[in-house]
Amino acid sequence: MFFKKKYVVILGLGSTIAIAAAALPSANNEYKNLKVLPENISSKDLSKIMIDDFEDGLGVSCAFCHSLGKDSLRLDYASDAKPEKQIARRMMTMTLGINRKYFKFKHPMIGDSTLVINCITCHNGQPRPVDDEEK
């Protein structure tokens, strides 16, 4: 299928990973350093994206993209220290773009279950998508 071949390759290329590019809430329930996901996203929507799209879609845990705080074993969700987080942002932007351009979604949102293309389309439970031809 044209679509599948072409866009699965596009999604796979350069996507070493894709995961949480968000920051979990501070005490007043506001998120810090959200750049692709909406700043006013609800706790439930954000958690759902982190679990359903990233954790299940890529088979990774939070620490794959989020770095530990300084001298701490607790994740600093706002930190951009890990390059994987920046890649995740690019992957989300790409995914939204594909759904907008090729599948006519006017306002695609990560986490929307009606999107045609999402993380698991290419990642299939793995941090790095496997090209069928590589198998």
Partner 1 sequence: MKNDNFIGLDENDDGIDRAGFLKCMAWAGTGLFCIMSGGVLKSYGMSQLIDKATGRIKKGIEISKGDFSFAQISDSHIGFNKPANPDVVGTLQAAISKMNAMPSSPSFILHTGDLSHLAQADEFDTLDQALKSAKTGKIFYVPGEHDVLNDNGKQYLQRYGKDTKGNGWYSFDFNGVHFIGLVNVVDTAEGGLGVLGNEQLQWLENDLKGLSSSTPIVVFAHIPLWAVYPQWGWGTRDSEQALTYLRRFGSVSVLNGHIHQTLQKVEGNITFHTATSTAFPQPQPGMAPSAGPMKVPAEQLRNLLGLTSVNYVEHDHTLAVTDLPLSSAKTDQPEHQ
- 61 binds partner 1, rule: CB under 8 A: yes
**Calpha distance 7→119 (Å, rounded):** 12
Q: Which stretch binds partner 1 (CB under 8 A): 1-9, 10-18, 39-47, 97-105?
A: 39-47
**Calpha distance 27→73 (Å, rounded):** 19
- 112 binds partner 1, rule: CB under 8 A: no
- Nearest distance in Å: CB 92, partner 1: 19
- 1 binds partner 1, rule: CB under 8 A: no
The dihedral of CA 40, 95, 44, 85: what is its sign?
negative
Residues touching partner 1: how many (CB under 8 A)? 27
**Calpha distance 101→120 (Å, rounded):** 19
Out of 35, 36, 47, 81, name the contact with partner 1 by CB under 8 A: 47
Tokens of 26: 């501070």
Q: Are 21 and 89 in contact (CB under 8 A)?
A: yes
Instruction: Kindly list the residues in this chain that would bind partner 1 in the complex (CB under 8 A).
Output: 24-25, 43-44, 46-48, 50-52, 55-56, 58-64, 68, 72-75, 124-126
